[in-house]
Amino acid sequence: MAASRRFVDISDDDLVEFSTANENENTAKKTEYDVRIFREYLDTIQERRDITQMPFPNLQKILMKARKNALLKIINERIIVSFYNAI
């Protein structure tokens, strides 16, 4: 009895094509928007490297710092709104 293959071999190109074809249009737009905002953040901290070329630990640190700054901004805005609502 000949052994049958359980899984089909696919190339990287096939995988990218499948992923792109099945990606929700809104998800793609949201991803593009998020990357644009992150690149704007990189400009504000004078980080000029291409994000696709950054070593992962460096990118992770920058993302964590960006997230912290974004959360602090949201908290500050909520405090200001709460303050004015209390007056």
**Which amino acid is residue 83, in one-letter code?**
F
What DSSP string runs through 13-74? HHHHHHHHHHS-HHHHHHHHHHHHHHHHHHHHTT--S-TTTS-HHHHHHHHHHHHHHHHHHH
Q: Residue 54's domain spans which residues?
A: 13-86
pTM reported for the whole predicted model: 0.58
Domain-embedded: residue 5? no
Count of domains forming the chain: 1
4 CB-near residues (< 8 Å, 6+ apart): none
More confident: 45 or 5: 45
Please write the tens of the pLDDT for every residue from 49-58.
999 999 999 9
Please write the tens of the pLDDT for every residue from 20-49.
887 788 888 888 998 998 999 999 999 999
Domain-embedded: residue 1? no
